[in-house]
Amino acid sequence: MPEKLSQKLLRVLRSFPAALSSSAGKPGAAIPGGPFGGTNVRRTFVKNLRLTLTRLTAARDVFETASEGNPRSIGLWVGAVLVTFVLLAPLGINDYHQSFLLQVFMVIALAQAWNLISGMTGYVSFGHAAFFGVGAYAGALFLTWGFPWWLAVIKGAGIAALLAVPLGFLTLRLRGPYFAIAMLGLNEVGRVVATLWVDVTRGGTGLTLSPKLLPSLDVKYFTMFALALGATLLVAWVHRSRFGLELRAIREDEEAAEMVGVNTTLNKVIAFVLSAVIPGAVGAVYVMYTSYINPASAFEHARNIEMIVVVLFGGSGTVWGPIIGAGTVMILRELLWAQFPAAHLAALGVLLLVVVLYLPGGLISILRDRQQKRPDARPGESP
């Protein structure tokens, strides 16, 4: 854009001091000559300092509200009932329903993984299904190479983690939208690599696992359940721990978090790696469930969509949100649109729009508001 116009705008801008201060930069942004420069510079410094203080207060508020009481005892009871049901279920239901529950566990585990990085830190990952694909391929390969199934799952998780460490260090330097843009292609990259690396992945033909190698449905059911439970407990622990508070401080204001002494890079990378381990393991179990994998099914774009929508629909950054979201979405899928996969995804898109526009805190915020009646609490921000 030409200079003339911007100068004209600047002149107008100068005659509105209020507008100027509201558009002032971030703290510490460009103080030429240090804090002891001219009056103008000093004024900027003071303004920046004041801004920093407000941000620090905001960060402290996050720390404090986060440690307030939540309906934990109710959560524990509901959790205990659910776990008992799941453990006893294989005795009384048929294979179809058991498979359905297995898929629900899968979605819960994946959603919790996404919740860990995106719900907690606000770094929205559009490419997390890539770790699922990597885990699925690793699991399939190690199984065919003669490893026992549980070792294949562990290796799938480990390889996803190994990939996530350098990837996290590289991409998490990017702030908000730039991170999202960089992650958007990750799943596609995974698919291209899986298609081209024919020696190992057999390209588009895919890998078929012989039934002899596979564990029984019960084993897969309980493994997937263990992953969902483990992921949930991990999120619950992170939620209560100092680590989780630091992650949420990053979400609210990264600069301020840095200023109160949070090691933002390390925290983000740890959260990222943890959130990659889970899909890695889930992918490995999933491949044992389907006994076949190809680039398109391992790196399925729909899986990304499902992760994101389930978490946001249930309530991102919370422990129960992804579970509620996964349950609701899976039941809707089963009852309403199982026959039309495209309609299912289109409905997820509509759901995402509705949640983003009208229910930023997700379903769980409705429950919570009714329970606590705290009009000042912004939905989705306190646990």
Partner 1 sequence: MELLEPDILLQLLIGGLLAGMLYALLACGLNLVFGVMRVINLAHAELMLVGAFGAYVLFTIFGLHPLVSLLLIVPVLFIAGYYLQSVLIERVVERPMLTSLLATYGLSIILINVGLLLFSADFKSVPVLQGSFLIGELTVSKPRVTAGVISLLLTVGVYLFLERSHLGKAIRAVSEHAQVAAICGIDVRKIRMLTFGMAAAMAGAAGVMLSVIYSFWPGSGIDFIQKCFAIIIIGGMGNFLGALYGGILLGVVEAFVGGFASTQWAEAVAYLLLVTVLLIRPTGLKGVARA
191 vs 239, beta carbon nearer partner 1: 191
- CA geometry: angle 95, 130, 171, nearest 5 deg: 150
31 vs 184, beta carbon nearer partner 1: 184
The DSSP output letter for 116 is: I
Comparing C-alpha atoms, which of 375, 338, 213 is closest to residue 288?
213
Neighbours of 31 (CB within 10 A): 15
Q: Are 98 and 217 in contact (CB under 8 A)?
A: yes
Closest CB 350 distance from partner 1, rounded Å: 6
Amino acid at 31: I
Closest CB 309 distance from partner 1, rounded Å: 8
Closest CB 19 distance from partner 1, rounded Å: 6
Q: What's the rounded Cα separation, in Å, for the pair 250 and 244?
A: 10
Q: Phi/psi class of residue 314: alpha, beta or left (left: φ > 0; alpha: ψ in -120 to 50)?
A: alpha
195 vs 372, beta carbon nearer partner 1: 195
Closest CB 116 distance from partner 1, rounded Å: 16
Closest CB 311 distance from partner 1, rounded Å: 11
Rg of the chain over all Cα atoms, to the nearest angstrom: 24
253 vs 369, beta carbon nearer partner 1: 253
124 vs 245, beta carbon nearer partner 1: 124
Q: Which residues contact 298 (CB under 8 A, 6 or more apart)?
A: 132, 133, 136, 137, 190, 191, 194, 283, 287
2 vs 211, beta carbon nearer partner 1: 2
Residues in contact with partner 1 by the rule CB under 8 A: 1-2, 5-6, 9, 12-13, 16, 19, 22-23, 25-26, 122, 124, 126, 170, 173-178, 180-182, 184-185, 188-189, 192, 196, 301, 305, 308, 312, 340, 342-343, 345-346, 348-353, 356-357, 360
DSSP string, 44-93: HHHHHHHHHHHHHHHHHHHHHHHTS---HHHHHHHHHHHHHHHHHHHHHS
Q: What's the rounded Cα separation, in Å, for the pair 299 and 190?
A: 7
Closest CB 195 distance from partner 1, rounded Å: 8
Closest CB 86 distance from partner 1, rounded Å: 30
E-strand ranges in 81-155 read none
Closest CB 187 distance from partner 1, rounded Å: 9
Phi, psi angles (nearest 5°) of residue 144: -70, -25
153 vs 359, beta carbon nearer partner 1: 359
181 vs 366, beta carbon nearer partner 1: 181
Token pair of 58, please?
């905001």
9 vs 93, beta carbon nearer partner 1: 9
Closest CB 275 distance from partner 1, rounded Å: 17
Burial group, residue 14, by CB count within 10 angstroms (0-12, 13-18, 19+): exposed
